[in-house]
Amino acid sequence: SQQGEEDPQALSIQEGENATMNCSYKTSINNLQWYRQNSGRGLVHLILIRSNEREKHSGRLRVTLDTSKKSSSLLITASRAADTASYFCATLPSGAAGNKLTFGGGTRVLVKP
């Protein structure tokens, strides 16, 4: 079963606009990570935010984490056609041995040129 719920399931925007997607999860976490997947194949790690962090930036990406609401958001600013992909949040539960990630269902983003 999947830990996270992502919202929206699909998002269509124009190039240059910002894209925001949200992730909710159920259990306490060690960290939350965002991944991108093109064409249903390999995932690319984007950013990791720890449970004691509230916001993190990486280039055009901004991630927030609210552990009281068990939710996170990913903002992509000034989107490009190359950002078209599916985006997944993944959580590492607190106390988990190793690095066993639990993924959400993903948000499919289409950036129109």
Partner 1 sequence: GAGVSQTPSNKVTEKGKYVELRCDPISGHTALYWYRQSLGQGPEFLIYFQGTGAADDSGLPNDRFFAVRPEGSVSTLKIQRTERGDSAVYLCASSLGQGGSETQYFGPGTRLLVL
Q: Does 104 bind partner 1 (CB under 8 A)?
A: yes
Nearer to partner 1, 15 or 110 (CB): 110
Q: Contact with partner 1 (CB under 8 A): which of 52, 69, 98, 113? A: 98
Q: Does 88 bind partner 1 (CB under 8 A)?
A: yes
Q: Does 106 bind partner 1 (CB under 8 A)?
A: yes
Q: Does 25 bind partner 1 (CB under 8 A)?
A: no
Q: Does 52 bind partner 1 (CB under 8 A)?
A: no
Other Cβ atoms within 10 Å of 75 Cβ, number = 14
Q: Does 67 bind partner 1 (CB under 8 A)?
A: no
Tokens coding 43: 């995932």
Binding to partner 1, residues 30-49 (CB under 8 A): 30-31, 35, 40-45, 48
Query: Does a cis peptide bond (omega within 30 degrees of 0) precede residue 8?
Result: yes
Q: Does 99 bind partner 1 (CB under 8 A)?
A: yes
- The CA radius of gyration of the chain, in Å to the nearest whole number, is 13
Query: What does the DSSP 8-state code read for residue 80?
Result: -
Nearer to partner 1, 10 or 78 (CB): 10
